[in-house]
Structure 1
Amino acid sequence: MSSHDAVKHDKQSLHYIVRSGLAGGIAGCVAKTVVAPLDRVKILFQASNPDFRKYAGTWSGAFSAGSQIYRENGVMGLFQGHSATLLRIFPYAAIKFMAYDQIEHILMPTRAQQTNMRRFLAGALSGMTSVLFTYPLDLIRVRMAYHTRSTNNGRLSKPTFLQAASEVYREAPKAPSSSPSPTASTLFTRFPVLKFYRGFTVTLTGMVPYAGTSFLTWGFLRAQFIPPSPDGTGTKRHPTPIADLIIGAVAGTVSQTASYPFEVVRRRMQVGGLTHPDRWMRWGETVGTIWQQKGWRGFYVGLSIGYLKIVPMTAVSFAVWQWGKRILGV
């Protein structure tokens, strides 16, 4: 192997890190664009938007909601908030896949050291790292997708990225009445950037089972169906795009099932500034509200559309990531 090839395959080289991140970012954008209409509908269901609450809970409801959006706003209505999605997903996916490559190399430098626990840990840590840096963009994207109507002459309000960001920044929540001191309110007043982290704790917690099980399933299935060669120098057979798609789809199904309740709670907290502008909604209050409204089923509202979205999205994401790495020579 030449010195140039050695650098290309050195996972800690700048060449590898940059190209791995680029492949991940492109994969995330392609995958999100494929499922953008489903993502819009899912957000409306999870956030319990009053205009679309009647459709939640059934497979057909997702298509009915999508049809209503299309009738009222055309194709662009199905992609409302997608610009913010792309602004978020490129750095999110780039950091996630890049971090996974690096963490995997540290925890599992050889195939003999690959275990399911280490795969899960590598996935969880990479997901947590990416969400830490990109969460404000996700919050703004949800705010953009949530709006379906306006009191301004009955016309639909479609906030731009900057308008949604300004809306979040101007919110002035009060400390909960049960709080013995206004410490929380004072903290958000002094550090307005924290307003862009509504629901961050539940997101970070939910990222552990989501990214962890996703990369665990991905790594486990690839090890089972694309095993290494006896001499350890490669694999018995090269992975194909179809194999990557299938394994990615299974990984998406498992990760979505494991983490979905956290996602529902997160969406409710993210739109809390719209539904409860006078205060901050907390974990306990949000969970209690969902339970009182629909019981345990409330934590799985929109799961059917979640599968419709996350399975192809994860499949495309992993497949394009691997394809991109091959094309970029890493």
Structure 2
Amino acid sequence: MSHRRVEACDSWRPPPAHAHATTLLLRAGGSPWGRSSPPPAFACLSVRHGGETVVKADEEEKERPSSVVAVVEGSGNKGKLPPVAQLLKHPLAALALVPSSVALFAAGAGAGAVAKTVTAPLDRVKLLMQTHSVRVAGESTKRGIGFLEAMAEIGKEEGLKGYWKGNLPQVIRIIPYSAVQLFSYEVYKKLFRRKDGDLTVFGRLAAGACAGMTSTLVTYPLDVLRLRLAVQSGHSTMSQVALNMLREEGLASFYGGLGPSLIGIAPYIAVNFCVFDLMKKSVPEKYKSRPETSLATALLSATFATLMCYPLDTVRRQMQMKGSPYNTIFDAIPGIVERDGLVGLYRGFVPNALKNLPNSSIKLTAFDTVKILISTGQKELEKLMQENQEKTS
């Protein structure tokens, strides 16, 4: 065999078939090379030379029995998936076969939908408290309503179902919203990594801000629909409200308050995700994979982010209202302060905090847990494949 320079090595491993035959012979007390001499060590080397894959071997290969077969990487003997029956006994290994983006999408969507439905009454109360001064302008001199008053008003006028009014578009919205937000956050983190692979605090904040704005931009019309359904009286359906908005106010009405929404969501998600990542990173290694650790860090990060960014949420809600006197964020903030005082920027903060903390905690905890399960499943799948290969070799 001609001697050529080796450019790159793809694999170097003993042929499985021959190794198996040698093991059987040794167990039987015999050796094809004689009782006194051990079997020679040899291997197959797959190299890439000039764009083609060629097989090179030791010069001893000429003297080996014809039954010895050279095995090249990619021939099918390595990487064979376990049978279905075996995967059913190891569900985590089966989970590793699901694309990670699909698994994360399902986890984020499911957790988001459940969290939004459970906390819908608090969300409805928060919206009524935030928009009270705009809805009753000219009808009442009362600046705002309290938490208990808003709860009683909903029950009196609309009954038990009223607490979940507007929840359907919110659930429909949260499915793509959570998926886009969580998935894009992982993508943006890769983009903002430095050349050495490290991700700075600024990089995490930038990734969170971009993820928040991306998800908001994609799902914003559904958020406006949810608000209109939640605060308008009557029993209109989502499609009726959408058609009325399109007919009476035009397409632009679906994007009212988009500016402050993007400005508000960017720092909120940036702070929330960044604080969550940094706190989780500082936790001792033995506690990192526990769900209660994710839950605790998610609660703290969500509380900090909510306290910082809530006034911008109040501004965007009032700008989304039909007949809102505010056109930009710069006239909305002084207008709200003039009408309701500084406390007006924090109307509905308590129900929002009660709603937001479990929402964010469930979402981040589910996301983190699924990532851990996927990683564990991949290791289990590799272990099964290796065991199966050893049995058949």
Smaller-chain TM-score bracket = 0.7 to 0.9
Instruction: Give the stretch that moved more between structures: 47-56 or 15-24.
Output: 47-56
Higher-Rg structure is 2
Instruction: Give the stretch that moved more between structures: 121-130 or 26-35.
Output: 26-35
Instruction: Kindly indicate which of the two structures has a greater share of residues assigned to strand.
Output: 2
1:180-203: CA deviation from partner (whole Å, max 9, x where unpaired): xxxxxxxxxxxx433210000110
Q: Which residue of 2 aligns with 1:97?
A: 182
Are 1:207 and 2:265 counterparts? Answer: yes
Kindly state the Cα deviation for residue 244 of structure 1 after the two structures are TM-superposed.
Answer: 1.5
CA distance in 1, matches of 2:310, 2:293: 25
What one-letter code is carried by the residue in structure 2 that aligns with 1:144? L
What one-letter code is carried by the residue in structure 1 that aligns with 2:155? Y
Q: Aligned in 2, Cα 1:68/1:217: closer, same or farther, shift over 3 Å? A: same
CA distance in 2, matches of 1:301, 1:37: 16
Q: How does 1:7-86 map to 2 (within 5 A)?
A: 15-48=99-132, 49-50=135-136, 56=144, 61-86=146-171
What one-letter code is carried by the residue in structure 2 that aligns with 1:44? L
Q: Which residue of 1 aligns with 2:59?
A: none
Are 1:196 and 2:260 counterparts? Answer: no
CA distance in 2, matches of 1:285, 1:167: 27
Q: Which residue of 2 aligns with 1:260?
A: 310
One of 124, 139, 158 as aligned partner of 2:235: 158
Kindly state the Cα deviation for residue 111 of structure 1 after the two structures are TM-superposed.
Answer: 10
Instruction: Give the stretch that moved more between structures: 40-49 or 258-267.
Output: 40-49
Kindly state the Cα deviation for residue 17 of structure 1 after the two structures are TM-superposed.
Answer: 2.1
CA distance in 2, matches of 1:111, 1:242: 32
CA distance in 2, matches of 1:111, 1:160: 53
Q: How does 1:1-330 map to 2 (within 5 A)?
A: 15-48=99-132, 49-50=135-136, 56=144, 61-108=146-193, 113-148=198-233, 157-172=234-249, 192-226=250-284, 235-271=285-321, 273-275=322-324, 281-326=327-372
Segments of 5+ residues of structure 1 without an aligned counterpart are 149-156, 173-191, 227-234
Q: Aligned in 2, Cα 1:274/1:87: closer, same or farther, shift over 3 Å? A: farther
8 A Cα contact 2:143 2:340, kept in partner: no
Q: Aligned in 2, Cα 1:237/1:288: closer, same or farther, shift over 3 Å? A: closer
Instruction: Kindly indicate which of the two structures has a greater share of residues assigned to helix.
Output: 1
CA distance in 1, matches of 2:366, 2:100: 17
What one-letter code is carried by the residue in structure 2 that aligns with 1:134? T
Segments of 5+ residues of structure 2 without an aligned counterpart are 1-77, 82-91, 379-393
Q: Aligned in 2, Cα 1:18/1:38: closer, same or farther, shift over 3 Å? A: same
Higher relative contact order structure (alpha carbons within 8 Å, sequence separation ≥ 6): 1
- SS of the aligned residue for 2:236 comes to coil
CA distance in 2, matches of 1:317, 1:54: 37
What one-letter code is carried by the residue in structure 2 that aligns with 1:212? A
CA distance in 2, matches of 1:240, 1:304: 29
Q: TM-score, normalised by structure 1?
A: 0.77
1:244-287: CA deviation from partner (whole Å, max 9, x where unpaired): 1111111111111121111011000101x2456xxx73323322
Q: Which residue of 1 aligns with 2:4?
A: none
CA distance in 2, matches of 1:2, 1:299: 59
Q: Which residue of 2 aligns with 1:179?
A: none
What one-letter code is carried by the residue in structure 2 that aligns with 1:88? R
**RMSD, matched Cα:** 3.2
What one-letter code is carried by the residue in structure 1 that aligns with 2:353? Y
What one-letter code is carried by the residue in structure 1 that aligns with 2:152? S
CA distance in 2, matches of 1:275, 1:158: 22
